[in-house]
Amino acid sequence: MHDAHMTIAAVLTAAGSGSRLGLDLPKAVVPVAGEPLVAHAARSLLAARAADGSAIAQLVVTAPAAHLDAVAALLGDVVEASGADVRLDVVGGGRTRQESVAAGLAELADDVDVVLVHDAARPFAPPGLVARVVDAVRAGHAAVVPGLPVVDTVKRVGAGDATGRPVVETVPRADLVAVQTPQGFDRHVLERAHAVGSGRGAHEATAASDDAALVEAAGVAVWVVPGDERAAKVTTARDLLVAQALTTGATA
């Protein structure tokens, strides 16, 4: 699938709530270092350059329905400040992350070949990580995820009771990675995987936790490239403090 002229788009999911942060506003518009998380995430995506110097040509952002205009205005300013020649689309998100990504895919321009799917909750994924994912897709891998080695001992547990749960086995961690975003895909592979898995997407209990899981379920191999600790996910109030500390090194 190697093609030096592939057109790159990114779907940036920003429709999640901030409930686990203890806040009443959507997570993506929570400010860090004076700017919402979604602005930091978009800026990193737009700053990325593939090995041949090409950049993202379309940015599709899924946002809460009540905040579409505000997010569009905010990201319009980010795009203008970046000087990037990029098409920006802001659309309403779905009931789950999977539905939100599907809504974003429906907005892709006809000439898009490579699709990145990124979470606004990982606002400081550095441009170098974004480029690494794109380059791996262009090298012929239809699905690519960044991953970090698992450093903790991991144990599989069984059903338990009020006192705890029994260990079934200790899982060898040498073969494990903690997966991050952005994840990169051949457009048609990702669209087919979403079409096949669409019945699972309406409910949190059955929706895929990431797009690579849908692709795997469709029988397509997923390739792992080195991740980056700066692409940490913001989920709790403590994570916000860590994200604040990362602002000075996000674009290195």
Q: Where are the domains of the chain?
A: 7-249
Q: Which residue has the tokens 């300013």?
A: 77
Sign of CA dihedral 99, 119, 49, 59: positive
The pLDDT tens digits for 17-29 are 666 666 667 778 8
Q: Answer whether residue 52 shows pLDDT above 60.
A: yes
In this structure, the number of other CB atoms found within 10 A of the CB of residue 3 comes to: 10
How far is Cα 55 from Cα 127, in angstroms, rounded to an integer?
10
pTM of the model: 0.90
How far is Cα 48 from Cα 251, in angstroms, rounded to an integer?
9
Cα angle 80, 84, 90; round to 5: 65
User: % helix / strand / coil in the chain, to the nearest 5?
Assistant: 40, 25, 40
| Structure-block tokens of residue 49 | 């350059």
Nearest to 60 by CA among 77, 81, 46, 40: 46
In this structure, the number of other CB atoms found within 10 A of the CB of residue 156 comes to: 9
Is 114:155 a contact under the CB 8 Å cutoff? no
The pLDDT tens digits for 155-197 are 999 999 999 999 999 999 999 999 999 999 999 999 999 999 8
The pLDDT of residue 235 is 83
- Domain 7-249: top CATH class: alpha beta
Nearest to 247 by CA among 125, 127, 128, 124: 124
Average pLDDT for 224-228: 98
In this structure, the number of other CB atoms found within 10 A of the CB of residue 135 comes to: 16
Residue 142 one-letter amino acid: A
Q: Which residue has the tokens 């674009």?
A: 251
Task: Kindly give, in sequence order, each residue whose CB lies less than 8 Å from that of residue 190, ignoring residues fewer than 6 positions away.
Answer: 105, 115, 117, 143, 211, 214, 215
The pLDDT tens digits for 54-103 are 999 999 999 999 899 999 999 999 999 999 899 999 999 998 899 999 99
The pLDDT tens digits for 103-114 are 999 999 999 999
The pLDDT of residue 11 is 98
- SS3 category, 213: helix
The pLDDT of residue 20 is 63
DSSP for 20-87, written as a single string: GGT-SS-GGG-EETTEEHHHHHHHHHHH---TTS--EEEEEEEE-GGGHHHHHHHHHHHHHHHT---E
